[in-house]
Amino acid sequence: MLEFLLCSMVTILPDYLFRRYGQGKLIGHHITLYSVWFELRWGITACLILTISLITMIFYYHPSTSNVTAAYRTVTILPEIPGRVEEVYVTRFQKVKAGDPLFRLDSSKQEAAMKTAEQRIVEVQAETEVAKSEIAATDGAIQSVEAAYLQAQIDLNTQTELQRRNPNVVAQREIDRLTSSLEGRKGALAEAIARKQTLQTKISTLLPAQKASAEAALEEARVQLDKTTVRAGVSGTVQQFTLRTGEVVNPLLRPAGVLVPDDAGRGRLVAGFNQIETQVIKTGMIAEVTCIGQPFTVVPMVVTEVQDVIAGGQVRASDQLVDVQQLSRPGTITATLEPLYENSFGNVPPGSNCIANAYTSNHEELQAGTAGPLRSAFLHAVDATGLVHAVILRIQAIMMPVQLLVLGGH
């Protein structure tokens, strides 16, 4: 309507003035309700063409959308392990900081695992002390076997020397017995030395490895015990939290509640513009929004991000072929809007619905002087028509509460 009124000022009105004062035709005599079309046909036709062209140019170069939301994401309150609730520390709508405990699960199983791991460490330490004592005993056995080996060696050498001097004094069987005894002492000595080496290897390698495994098991049990206390991952407000002592929560099926971060949806809007405006929406464009949560207010914004894909065409891998007809619904160009000035967004609650206008600016190209006369005139017209859309947005900001509260019956 506003565009039609503006266009009629330069089409229908001059045509009427020409008919009235230039040709002398009178309203009600020559220009009647039935002769309006014939008398003002050139002005009406020009007005309709100019109105359609103006509306098309405004909505293309200065796109508008009502698909604007202060989108935010919540954090689900979930334990990492299933269990029965032992104690609850918070209630609904309570403000919490990152790291604050929310509730605690039954930890008897994890505490038992910690005690088992601690006892295993003590057991390994005791085995180490026993192995050291066994090494001391082995040292004594080695000394005893070495002495017996030396004595057997002396006896064999003595009897061998006597036999050499007088073969009839020492029988050969005695020499063989002493030789066998010497070999036995030698084997006993090697066995004692090997046992000592085994104990040393056990103390230096096996037992430390067992102790390290026990300490790792203790740390794992401690981590599992810490998981029984569920803490807030971010600072925010606890919502939909009705957990009670004795309930069973599960990471897959039974969440405990929702945590809304403090910065969720604050100072950022997500807008979906029509696909036809793909070539117009650019990063850095100036925009304006008015939100239901903050009526009678127009906030200047700036386009900070433009998604380069359209969500309506995405395909997921499955066991069925996708019919293109299922993707026929046109999606939107997703853009992120942020306040142009700090703290200008006010207290718009996250999740609010808004209306947004984005404005094309050709100031840089006009200042550069690279555009020809016709293009310069066109660019000036494009920039000037943004005022019409800005006026429409302000009318919407004024009428929005009236439509919702009065006309909408709310």
d(CA 403, CA 410): 9
The Cα–Cα gap between 185 and 150 comes to 9
Neighbours of 348 (CB within 10 A): 20
Distance CA 234, CA 259 (A): 8
**What pLDDT shows up at residue 132?**
77
For residue 292 the two structure tokens come to: 């239901």
**Angle between helix 172-201 and helix 108-165 axes, rounded to 10 deg:** 160
d(CA 357, CA 337): 11
Say what the pLDDT of residue 287 is. Answer: 92
> Tell me, what's the pLDDT at 358?
92
Per-residue model confidence (pLDDT) at position 245: 86
Give average pLDDT by consecutive 10-residue segment, the chain, 410 residues: 71 75 76 73 83 84 88 84 87 88 88 87 84 75 71 69 64 67 70 76 80 86 87 86 84 80 79 88 90 86 88 76 73 87 77 88 81 84 84 87 74
Predicted confidence at residue 288, as pLDDT, reads: 92
Q: Are 385 and 62 in contact (CB under 8 A)?
A: yes
**Predicted pLDDT of residue 83:** 85
Nearest to 87 by CA among 105, 107, 111: 105
Q: Which two tokens stand for residue 104?
A: 């605690």
Residue that has been written with the tokens 């401690």 in this structure: 222
Distances (CA, A) of 369 to 61, 372, 386: 21, 8, 21
pLDDT of residue 276: 87
In one letter, which amino acid is 209? A
Determine what percent of the chain falls in helix, strand and coil, rounding each to the nearest 5.
Answer: 50, 20, 30
Burial class (CB in 10 A: 0-12, 13-18, 19+), 128: middle
